[in-house]
Structures are given as C-alpha cells and as structure tokens.
Structure 1
Amino acid sequence: MERKLIAIDLDGTTLNAAAQLSPKTKSVLAQAREAGHIVSIVTGRPNRISEDIYDELNLDGPMINFNGSLGHIPHHYWQDEYQYTINKEVAYDLLQHREELGIDMIAAEGKHMFLAVRDHPVEVGFFPPVLQSNQILNQKTLQENPTSLTVAVERRHQEHLLSYLKHNFGNEVDAAPWGGPNSVVELGVKGVQKATGVEVLAHHFHVERQNIVAFGDEHNDSAMIDYAGWGVAMQNATPTIKGLANDITPLDNDHDGLATYLQDYLKLAE
C-alpha cells in the first residue's frame, strides 16, 4: 500500500468522551507508523493543550493547531513553521464593546501567548479556572497579534456577535460557533482552515492528495475532510460532516472508532 498521510482531529475523534487516548488507539497509530504511514494531529486546540497528546503518541513530525493557523514541530525548530495572526485591533475592539455584545470571556492565544479576560464565570473546559496576573487580557498586555480569539458569549447574544464580526471584520476573520453545549465563538484568520495545515503537511512529506486520509467529527473539520483524498467521518460526527465524507466509521469515538477503522483500512495485524 502507498504511504498515507493520516490527519487526525483530537476531540470527538481520536480522543474518547473523557478526552483520553485509549490503549487501542495508541497501539493502532503506532502500528500505522511502523508500517510506514505518517500520523499528524490537526486540531482546533491550542498547542498548550495538545502537546501532551502528541507526546503520548510518540509523534515526531509537525502538528497543526488552531484549526490550521499554526504549524510547528513541538520541542524542535522547524524551518517550515508558520503562524497566521489576527490584527490585535480586533481584540481591542471586542474588549471595548464586550458589555453591549453580551461577551462573558475573551481569550487571545498564539504559540507562546495565553491572555484572557473574564467578566462572568464561564465553564469552558479549555480555560484555566484561575488566571494568573500575567494572563489578564487588556490593551497593555496584548502586545502582538494573536493567532486565535475565543469568545464566550451569552447564547441569546450569539447571533448579534456573529453579525457584528461579519459587518466590522468580515474581510479579516472567520468566526465559527463551537458545536456542543457552550456558547463559544472562535475567530481565526479569514480563509485559514484545517485544510491549510494539511496542505502544508502534504508538501512537507511529498504525499499526493489522493493518499491523504482525514478523520473528523465537527464543522471545523469540513475543509480537511473535503480536501483529503479519503475523508472519514466519525460515527458521532455531525450530519454535515457525514454528508461530506467518503466513509463513516462504524463505531464512535468512545468505542475506538478511529483505531478500528484504520486497522481495517490499512490492513494492520490484529
């Protein structure tokens, strides 16, 4: 079999419902690499909360974070490293108007940046419950352009926020609401998606598009699923993603759906 580039989303795909790697997932991904295939994490998560998973999988190639906006090799210099950034004026504007827009929290992040401001308690898993004094987001602390802005907004204000962003910054940023229970809107550089990162990986590893296999479950995986020669939706994926994919895993992310599918697809030994 020709060498495949296997692009894996983390939450809802490679990770189970407890956001953990199962023993089977680790073993199958290791087998895939031993068989000569490339495994790359392509996630919406920041690098700060995906490097532990990268290390647990013993990966050594590039990882894509922030939905395609950052490509890097953790713990190492990589000459092809890239990072797309948003003009910090967008963050300043949202900070100024956060009350009228119903914003509870804003986080500005980059490869080496984490700043946040919280006006109301927000239960969003990815954010530290307590902010250190050097993590408070304001015009003084935000000195460089962030890669990503994450905004927790009251549910009833979400549509208004989306139209405000489209009207004022539609040429600069793409704003996407998260799936799931939290009313969170994520901002990234316009036109940059997970497929942007997968294309960089394909060039780096000299893999043709038809030899890219991508796994995902949510709207932020759509461009990647579409771009890959073989796009696979998880059993637990949204109907949109299932509609875009070439195939759907018989099992969900809580029952080793990705590992079982890959074992079969790559004809790996049980």
Structure 2
Amino acid sequence: MQIFELSFVAAVLLAATPILYAALAGAISAQVGVFNIALEGQMLWGAFAAVAGSYYTGSAWGGVLIALLSTALFAVILAVGSARWKADPIIIAIGTNLLALGLTGFLLRVLFDVSGSFSPRGLEGLPKMGFLADVPVIGPIFAGQTLLVPLAFVVIVAVGLWLKATPAGLRLRGVGEHPDAAASLGVNVPSFQMWATILGGALCGIAGAQLALGNVTVFTENMTAGRGWIAVAAVMLVAGRPLWLPLACLGFGAAEALGFRLQGIGAPQQLTDAAPYAITLVVLVLTRIRFARSRKVSV
C-alpha cells in the first residue's frame, strides 16, 4: 500500500476539516479574551444535532443548519456565564463538555431507543463533489469531499483578513488585548465576548456536522474522541494568528490519516490511534516552553 499519494492528501483534508472549524471557533474566542476549552463538547453536540436533524428533516443540509443553530444556542451557556456573569470560563467549559457527553447519550436512548450508535437506513449524509472526479490532481483530492471541506479554508482566510484589516475586526481584537482601553472608548466588552463565543459555537456545530455527516454517516457516543482538545492545542500553537490554523490542523489531520494507512500495512491499531494525541502533547509542551522563554525575555 502506498502511503503518500493523492488519496492520502484527500484523507488528510477529511480528517483535518472538523478540527479546522473547531479551532477557528477557539481562535475567535481567544481574540476576545475567552479561553474556550468547550470545543469538544460543542462539537459532540453538533454531531448529534446534525444526525438527528438529518433524520427528522430528510435532508443533510437541514441537519447542518440544525447543528449550527442548536450548537450556537448550546454555547450561550459559556457565553453568558463568562461574559455577563464573569464566571470562570474553564469551569463552565468543563461542565458543558460533561453535559454534552451525558446529554447526547441520554437523548440517543430517548429519541431513537438505541445506545452506542445511531445510523438508520436512509440517513442522509452530505453530498460529495463528484463532478470534480475527472479533473486532474484536484479530482482525486476533492471529488470525494463535501462542500464543507474547501469552505473551511475559505472561512479561515476570510476571518483572518477580517480581523486584520477591518475596523470591526480590530475592535474585536482590542477587546481581547486591552479590554479596559476598549471599554474606555465605549466598546461593550461583554457583548463582544458573548457574541464571539456564540459564533464559535456555530462553527463547532458545523465541525460536528462534517464529522457525523461528511466523514461518516453515523452518530456514536463520544465520537469526537478528543478532536476538540486537539483543536484547543492548535489554537495554543498559532498563538492568536488564525491564518496559521490550516497549517497546524493539517499536521494533526496528517497524523490521523497516516495512522489509518499504517494500520493497513499491519501496524498495531493502538499505536496508530495514539499518534494524533501524542502530537498534541508534544505541541502543548513546546507551547509551554515558548511561553516560558517569552516571559523570561520580557522580564
């Protein structure tokens, strides 16, 4: 089996896309001074909402819309708690992660009378871009992908440029970097923080929808399996520079895709499954070392 080929690039993009959307959500929250570690729970809720929405509406895009809206609503818990009530966002985020894990498992039994996984006959998955199949190079990479895959990179570039080049984007960054100065200029700091966090929730809903209806067509309990935490690591790695997110997330996606390929040539499953999370730990250690050095230099 050839590991490095165009189909491997396609697998990397597929694995990285849910992490990209979730990491962008975390980066936007970080820009307004909210360290969002609720990405795991929000993505899991988005995956459940997408599958349930697709099942009840009979449309995959209906499932995506329901995932987007319901996860934005789910993010209100963190947004109001941290921005309006000034509670610790870390504690709230941990609580919402546990809530999403328990609530999705509970609703799986209540709504569908199943446990473990839900993949009914006729469940609509997101359509693939098969019309690109005959295009050289691009075809093997994108023909089997959903529209949400290339859209992720477009959205990240658009948000990165918006933050750097527009008055609203600069104001949003100012809220996170110097909230007191922003408030003195009449900027409603809690409102910016709240709406940025809710927008992040909507992006996590799209991440979950891509995971449950694009990467596969099924919902399983705890199917995010740490991808939200990988997104948190990616946010820490880029240190407030959203335009670098694709590079960081593609690295994690490559580790996951390589793990699947290595399983195909006989590598132990336990070893290959651990690869993305091992890389995440390395990233966190390197980020901590970089932070310590920067503080030492500033002192």
TM-score, normalized by length of structure 1? 0.22
Greater percentage in helix? 2
* Structure with bigger RCO (C-alpha 8 Å, 6+ apart): 2
TM-score, normalized by length of structure 2? 0.21
